[in-house]
Structure 1
Amino acid sequence: MHSAAGTSAATVRSAAVADFAMHLRAQRGLSEHTVRAYVGDIEHLMAFAGRYGRTEISDVDLGLLRAWLASMAAAERSRATLARRGAAARTFFDWARRTARVASDPALRLASARPASPLPTVLGVDATARLLDVARTRAQDSDPVHLRDWAALELLYATGVRVGELCSADLDDLDLSERTLRVVGKGDKERVVPFGVPAAEAVQAWLDRGRPSLAGELAGRALLLGRRGGRADQRQIRAVAHTVAALSGVDDVAPHALRHTAATHLLEGGSDLRSVQEVLGHASLATTQRYTHVTAERLRTSFEQAHPRA
């Protein structure tokens, strides 16, 4: 049977976690997926603390935080999970200190594993052209969904946007005369990205011949639609990328690989890293550096042009 003190402590913890979730949504602008993950991490931490008689948020200290992460490392949790849970703890206790829920921040000196950063899949220029040529040829049949698929793949490669950003775009976000697309990225940050003539051609074909055939009561102002007439979802567009890649005979790609491919090709074409950061919507330049890679040929050319003793 739970004691009154134990019940009271659990109520306070639950209220604090609920307030923390509201803070993440309203002030940090984090996605619902990230909010759920952080809340789950803090609940996992407090359950761990409870096993050692630490029932209050203020009972958690640096030693317990380290023991919590160490227990997961021993259980062979992935580096990505450890890194996220460490980040969740740091974010939570920073917020708890600023809102006077704890007197000091026990996670201030907490270090955690960094997630592994494998090189992303990137298609070469020829392979990308083959992929998009197949999408274009496939769109020449009478299926309006294939027109959508062509437009989606062209836009993903031309703009480097995330698949979720593209699926959330509306007709009003598109400016075909200027060849730009407005998207809302992480943290509800809006950006406008340009695209070229091939993508504009695909989008125009979709708007003229594909979208009107599919638009139903649920279509609203959605740019991309599914076969049932409502807004296309990320799962559908991911399936498209895999299908067209298989038909093209290129490496299997997901939409995110087209984002990496776009960034890499921009860099190889001479675009500077800051401009690519703006296109991708990265808050930090370091993120752009991690998600793109510059070819040895471009580095060599830059060296030969710039170094006095090349």
Structure 2
Amino acid sequence: GRELNLCAADFESRILLQRNISEVVRFERRDFDRVIETMREMIGSETLKDRKLCCISVATPGKLKDSGEFLLNPRFQGFENVSIRKVLGDTFGCDVVVKNDVNLAMEGEKAYGSALRDVKNALMLHVDVGTGAALMLNGKIYEGSHGFAGEIGYFRLNMFSCAADSFDNLSYFNFYDSVSLYSSLSILKREVQNGAEGYLKAYAEEKGISPSELTIKAMTEAYRAGDPLVCKVLNASGRVIGTVAANIAEFLDVDTVVLNGAVFELGEPFLEVVSAYVEGKTVCYPELMEKATLMGAVNAGLTKAFLNNF
């Protein structure tokens, strides 16, 4: 997403303290330094001063080596040959767990939410600035060979050529289309720059910003307000998301599809668009919503801490 969430939890999964670092789209070394300083501040706070830090659990997009160095993560800048696991372990002197953020979101919903209760096989699609997926097969999270199964963000998709009202006449800036909210926003920015009327143009004029400065938040607000152009673009994306979900669900014979990420800000209308293309499956948002990833990280950290301390 666009916000970094940090929390401290006890061995009963209770959140003791939480901090947020907002509007981080490209994660740079200076952002990592801010995270470390925020963690130091939290550890030294009145709430945590008499407590021992047993484990740090990190949820991250991308692919990592076993050593904790990134193999692939376009949103992280300047992290070549840098092991997040080692840096945090050396800095704070404790165990560090680093896992895929979408896998952890599914783990969090499974452990603490209701959307996956009594479900053995499920697919979670993460749709936000980027896209990803997680799989639960026979009651267990399937992580793949490197712990990052489900990287659908690199599927080559003709996103807007799926209906008569397609946008395939547009020359999208990337060499392949994706179903991320950022991709939809890029199309809408271009349309507004070319003179399209509607919610986003009025929003930009009211805020005194250029179309290139429009945000995902503004786009989701426009969708909920029923703006025709925004609904057209996002519903086109929803049709493709539904088709991708249906194909994966049929291939693996899963029962439930959970949509996670900022996409849940689009509400029930978007869920209905996706559901129409995933016949015979339950399609829903996680009960925990934006807290699913956070609670998954808590659960992973607790598991590691219990193994090493008890």
- Structure with the greater alpha carbon radius of gyration: 1
Higher helix content, 1 or 2: 1
Higher RCO, 1 or 2 (CA under 8 Å, sep at least 6)?
2
Question: Is the strand fraction higher in 1 or 2?
Answer: 2
Fold agreement, TM-score > 0.5: no
TM-score where L is the length of structure 1 = 0.24
TM-score relative to the length of structure 2: 0.24
